[in-house]
Amino acid sequence: MVGLYRARSAAVFGIDAQPIDVEVDLYPSGSARDFVTVGMPDTAVRESRERIKSALINSGFGYPAKAVTINLAPANVRKEGAGFDLPMAMGILGAMGAITPTERFLFVGELSLDGQLRPVRGALPIAVCARKQRIENLVVPEENAAESAVVEGISVYGLKHLAQVVALARGEHQFRPAQPPPPEAAPSTHSDLDFRDVKGQTAAKRALEVAAAGGHNVLLIGPPGSGKTMLAKRFAGILPPLSFEEAIETTKIHSVAGLLPAGGGLLRQRPFRAPHHTISDAGLIGGGTATLRPGEVSLAHHGVLFLDELPELARNVLELLRQPMEDRQVVLARSSMTVSFPAAFTLIAAMNPCPCGFYGDATRECRCTGAIITRYLGKISGPLLDRIDLHVEVPAVAYKELRGQDDGVGSAQMRERVQAAREKQQARGFSNCNLPHNQLRELCALDEAGERTLEMAVRRLGLSARAHDRVLKVARTIADLDGVSRVSAKHVAEAVQYRSLDRSYWGQ
């Protein structure tokens, strides 16, 4: 018996991973506690004792007739999940003298009772951690190999059984490192949903094109059946493909959440998340008790968060949107840790103008009283509205438009214009929705006519300082779509138009 042995692993916190040393010591038994795990393990880690013991015996390696103490270092951070099964089992085998030191390997994986390896969450962040720690080899369950293999500079081995891991550590078998899935020649962009399918709604399509070009949030207001959901579902199709850096970050979030398909590599499609209006605050923002998980706002990172029936969401849930919309990240604080999840999403919200849906409709009578309408609209607070750049009316589609010929404008043409506008923003170093305040005056400089237009809008509409800045950012986007370097009065006028609709409903 060797006695003391160390195996290397990692634990996920937020969307990043931290190296963990699994120290195993064997000593003469005689205590009722013959298997002790220390280092702030959670319930799943403490329960690993029976899984590891059965896996070792059923794989033909036996189990030491000694007491086992396992320390997960550093001891001041909480260890969660069953991914420590494999490194703990390898540590026990090392302490038994069955394998030689494995400092060049990082292990992660859950064990079944017969020694099979089960997939874990967060394999991609763990692979990034291994590269940062300059560990040459990463051993993961076979289902996690594709996502881990996208990280260059390390050899990733996706194995099925504990016996294979031991054979690799002993050098008895030369397993081939996993290869990342080949990149798609043309990443999917929701091409099955085309704006050409939406009849009429020319103004709404234009507003969504502006939103896509600058990353602006949008509120769609209109009666039932006017096409709000159809428009929102096609929005992701006019966004440019994910860059490699965006794909890595998006995939890390879905990996931590356990939402990657088995054997899948990098996500190439911008996420489109559409939670039901009964969602809880933890479901939307993220959270949990023992384990902090990303919510819908983080799962929509670099993509679209679609909230239909916006006033039907609980008021406290809606107000929680304000901080991630402003800071583009979510910070979850608990007594034992603070975790940050990115949340750079584009919000597309949709709502009826009243509970029955027909307030202001010229063809159908609204059955709601003034008090009911006020209470319904009052669920959307002024500070939340201020953070939504474009307020767009989506009226009922007229019969002639419904039965008329296609206007010829589809997602492909819109996507080309959006891509050209975004390239201009990339050259400046910022997307328009993220323009820093200290550069707003320079990048959104107005001529005399533009100044007069903006001044009149601020006075008549009573725009807040935040709304003033957002009007300038939207005007900058409209100018980028027009291919001009200077913001003019017509760009400001169109941007102001997108801020005036809320005055019709909320009476501000």
Domain(s) of CATH 3.30.230.10: residues in the chain: 4-170
Residue type, 363: T
Residue type, 158: G
Cα angle vertex 281, ends 217, 81, to 5°? 115
Collect all residues with Cβ–Cβ distance below 8 Å to 23 and sequence separation of at least 6.
4, 5, 6, 70, 71, 72, 73, 91
Question: Exposed, middle or buried, 59 (CB in 10 Å: 0-12/13-18/19+)?
Answer: buried
Q: How confident is the model at residue 324 (pLDDT cuts 50, 70, 90)?
A: very high
**Stretch 10-15: mean pLDDT, rounded?**
90
Q: Percent of the chain having pLDDT more than 90?
A: 60
Tell me the pTM: 0.89
Out of 3.30.230.10, 3.40.50.620, 1.10.10.10, 3.30.9.10, the CATH code matching 4-170 is 3.30.230.10
Q: What is the pLDDT of residue 186?
A: 44
272 has pLDDT over 90: yes
**Beta carbons of 206 and 216 less than 8 angstroms apart:** no
**Beta carbons of 301 and 249 less than 8 angstroms apart:** yes
* Integer CA distances (angstroms), 2 to 91, 96, 100, in order: 11, 6, 10
265 has pLDDT over 90: no
Q: What is the pLDDT of residue 471?
A: 92
DSSP state of 487: B
Q: What is the pLDDT of residue 3?
A: 67
**Stretch 43-53: mean pLDDT, rounded?**
91
Element (H, E) at 106: strand 105-107
124 has pLDDT over 50: yes
The 3 state secondary structure assigned to 313-361 is: CCHHHHHCCHHHHHHCEEEEECCCCEEEEECCCEEEEEECCCCCCCCCC
**Beta carbons of 366 and 474 less than 8 angstroms apart:** no
Could you read off the pLDDT of 189-209 as tens digits, one per residue? 555 788 888 888 889 999 999
Domain(s) of CATH 3.40.50.300: residues in the chain: 195-408
Q: How far apart are alpha carbons 174 and 158 in whole angstroms?
A: 13
Q: Which fold has domain 195-408?
A: Rossmann fold (3.40.50)
**Stretch 318-341: mean pLDDT, rounded?**
87
Element (H, E) at 390: strand 390-393
Q: Give the residue, 300 or 442, on which the prediction is more confident.
A: 300
52 has pLDDT over 90: yes
Q: What are phi and psi of 333, to 5 degrees?
A: -110, 130
Q: What is the pLDDT of residue 337?
A: 74
Element (H, E) at 504: helix 489-506
Q: How far apart are alpha carbons 91 and 82 in whole angstroms?
A: 15
**Beta carbons of 253 and 298 less than 8 angstroms apart:** yes
Mean pLDDT, the chain, as a whole number?
Answer: 89
**Stretch 209-236: mean pLDDT, rounded?**
93
